[in-house]
Structure 1
Amino acid sequence: MNLHLLRLFATVARHGSFSRAAEALHLSQPAVSKGVRDFEAQVGSRLLERGGPGGVALTEAGSLLMRHAATLFGAERAAEEELAALRGLQRGTLSVGASTTVATYQLPPILGAFHKRHPDIELRLTSANTRAIAELLSARDLDIALVEGPVDEPGIEVLPWRTERMILIAAPDHRLAQSGRPVTTQDVADEIVIVREPGSGTRDVALAALETYHIVPRRILEVGSTEAIKQIVAGGYGVAIVSAAAAADQIALGKLAVLRATGFDVRRTLTRLRLPARQPSAAAAAFDALLDRPSD
C-alpha cells in the first residue's frame, strides 16, 4: 500500500473536498484527484462517493480504511516524535494548535518567548475551532493543543490552563449602552445575540451563559469568527458575549462598549489537551513549561 497515496485519500476524506485537501497539502487539485484514483485502483475498491451536495463522502470500504489510516499515521508520528526527542532542542518542528480565540489573543507572547529561547525549533501554528483542534490532536497532527471550549473526546486528557472573563458588548451608541442603567436579562432577550459557529468554544460558553440567566433572545445570528462578531456589533447590529481579552483593544479605542448587567458574571476555563500515553518531545516539554508561567 502506497502511504503517499493513502495520505492523499485520508486528507480528502477529512476535508470532505478535493480542493480543500489540495490546499492543505500544497498540491494541485488534479494531482490529488489522480492520486486518489490511483489509490482506489491499487486497493481495488471505490473509497469515495463524488459529486454529492456536501462534496465527497466515504464508502463502506473508505470508512474501514480511514480507521486503519489513523493507526498507521499515528505510528508514523510516534516514530518521528521519538527521533525528535533524541535530537533535543537543537533542531526539529513543534506543531501548536489552538482554538481561534486562544491563538489570536493568548498564544502570541508565548510563541515569541519560545522562539527567543529555542530559535532552531520550527514552530507551526494551526488555528481552528475547539472541535477541530481536538480531532487534530487525536490524529497526532499536533504536539500542543489549547482550547477554550469543553471537550469530551475519548483518549484526550483535559487540563485547566487559565481562567478568562467573558463580557457582554454592544456599540457605544447602542440603546443599552446609552441607557445609563444596568442591563437586565429582558433587555438582552429583546436583542439579536451574535454567536460563533457550531464547534466553537466561545459559542458553547455564550449559549451556556444565556441558559444560566434564562435569556431567550428574539434572534440569534451565527458568525464564523470573533473578529467578525466584534465588527458587526461595533456597527450597531446586536450584542454579543465575548472574551474580555478579545474585545480589550476595541473597547480602549471607543469602538465597543461593555454592557453592565446586574449579577452577570461569566468565566470560562481555557484548557490544555493531551494524549496521556504520548511521550512529549523535548520541544513540547519546553513549551509546556512556558504555558505554566503565570500570564501578565
Structure 2
Amino acid sequence: MPLNLHLLRLFATVARTGSFSKAAEVLLLSQPAISKGVRDFELQLGCLLLDRTPRGVKPTREGAALMRHAEMLFAAERAAEEELRALRDLNSGSLRIGASTTIATYFIPDYLGAFHAQYPGIDLQLTSANTRDIAQLMLAHEIEIGLVEGPVEEDGLTSEPWRTDIMELIVGPRHHFTLSNQPIDPKRIADEILIVREPGSGSREVISQALGARKIEPGRTLEIGSTEAIKQVVAAGLGVAIVSEAAVKDQIALDRLKIIKMRGLEIERTLWRLKTPGRLDVPSAIAFEKLIARPAACAANHARPSPS
C-alpha cells in the first residue's frame, strides 16, 4: 500500500516535536485531528509508530526507521520548493550553513559577505557548533552546507577536503618559551597546562593525534569550549594552546600572543565539507559551494561591483 503523505507528515511532526499538541500548533490543525490521523496511519501500516507516555511521545523502533525516510522525503520537498522559488537568478530563498566553531569565526565571514553582495535576496542562516553537532545537523537535513574541522565517519555522510589549516603553539607574551629564538622541543609541552577544546571538537582530535604520535602527554589540561576564550586565557599567562593560525592573527598583531615553533613538529589539518549522498542541492547551496572553492580574498574581490 502506498504511504499516505498527509498522514506521514502528521506522524513526522508529532515525532519531531514530541507532542500531539505541539504538532497541532505547527500544522495549524486540531489535536484530535492529528491524533486520529496518526492512529489511522498506524492501522494502515499495521504497526505502532509512537510510544505514548505521560511525559510525551517518542518513536518506536518502527517509527524511528520511518522517521529517517520521512526526513529525507520532506528535505527533498523543501529542496524542490527552494529551487522553484530561486530559479530566477537566486533572487529569493534561504541558505542554512553549519560550520564548526573555528571555521564559522575565522574562515567563512568573508565568504558570507561576498555571497550576500552577489545574492542579496537570499536569507543566510549560520549555525556555529562543534564538528560532531554539525554532522548531526547535516544528517537531519537541517542545514544545506556543512563545514567542519575534523574527519567525520557517519553513515549517510561523506567528507570532501576543503582547506588546509596550520595549527600553531601559542603562549602569552611573557611566557618562558619566548626567551629563546629557536624552536622548542615539543616534549616540553608535557610540563605545561595545555588548554584544549571540548570533546567533539575537530581541533582537539587533531591535536591529540599529533601529540600522541610523538608520545607527548600533557601533565595537566584545561578544557574550554571556545577558541576566543582559549586565546584570552593564554594571553593572561595561564597555560599554552595549539590553535588555528587563522584564529590568532589579530592577537599576534597586538603582541598579546606569541607563536612558538616546535622542532620537528608541524601540525596541519584538513578542513572538510560534508555532503549527503543522493540529496538534491538547492541553487543557493550550489552557488555558495562554487564561492568557497575560491580563496576568500578572490571571492570577496569577485563580489565587489566594478567601478563605474
- Scaled by the length of structure 1, the TM-score of the pair is 0.81
Name 1:194's counterpart in structure 2. 195
Contact 2:8–2:70, Cα closer than 8 Å, also in 1: no
Give the Cα separation in 2 of the matches to 1:101 and 1:129: 9
CA distance in 2 between counterparts of 1:101 and 1:8 reads 35
Residue 11 of structure 1 deviates from its aligned partner by 5.4
Out of 82, 85, 104, the position equivalent to 1:84 is 82
Cα deviation, residue 183, structure 1 = 1.4
**Alignment-mate amino acid for residue 267 of structure 1:** E
- 2:102 aligns with 101
1:173 and 2:174 aligned: yes
Residue pairs, 1:4-19, within 5 angstroms: 6-7=12-13, 9-10=15-16
| 2:218 corresponds to 1:217 | yes
1:128 has 2:126 as partner: no
Corresponding residue for residue 233 of structure 1: 234
Which structure 1 residue ranges, 5 or more long, are not aligned? 14-21, 28-34, 51-55
Change (3 A) 1:243 1:48: farther
CA distance 1:283–1:255, change in 2 (3 Å): same
C-alpha separation between the residues in 2 aligned to 1:117 and 1:145? 21
- SS class of match (2:252): helix
Note the alpha carbon deviations across 1:223-252, whole angstroms, 9 max, x for none: 111111111111111111100001111111
Q: 1:259 & 1:205 partners in 2: Cα distance?
A: 18
Superposition pairs of residues 1-296 of structure 1, within 5 angstroms? 3=9, 6-7=12-13, 9-10=15-16, 46=51, 61-62=59-60, 64-87=62-85, 88=87, 89-296=90-297
CA RMSD of aligned residues (A): 2.9
Gapped runs of 5+ residues in structure 2?
A: 1-6, 26-30, 40-47, 298-308
Q: Could you tell me the percent identity over the aligned residues?
A: 44
Per-residue Cα deviation, 1:71-95 (whole angstroms, up to 9, x for no partner): 2122112111012112221211111
Over 3 Å counting, the alpha-carbon distance change for 1:48 and 1:219 in structure 2 is farther
Going from structure 1 to structure 2, the CA distance change for 1:161 and 1:49 (only over 3 Å counts) comes to: farther
Preserved contact between residue 168 and residue 245 of structure 2 (Cα < 8 Å): yes
| CA radius of gyration, larger in | 2
Count of residue pairs the alignment pairs up: 269
Aligned pair in 2 of structure 1 residues 186, 47: CA closer, same or farther (>3 Å)? Answer: farther
CA distance in 2, matches of 1:11, 1:234: 44
In structure 2, give the amino acid aligned to 1:75. Answer: L
In 2, Cα distance between the equivalents of 1:11 and 1:171?
Answer: 47
Matched to 1:162, the amino acid is R
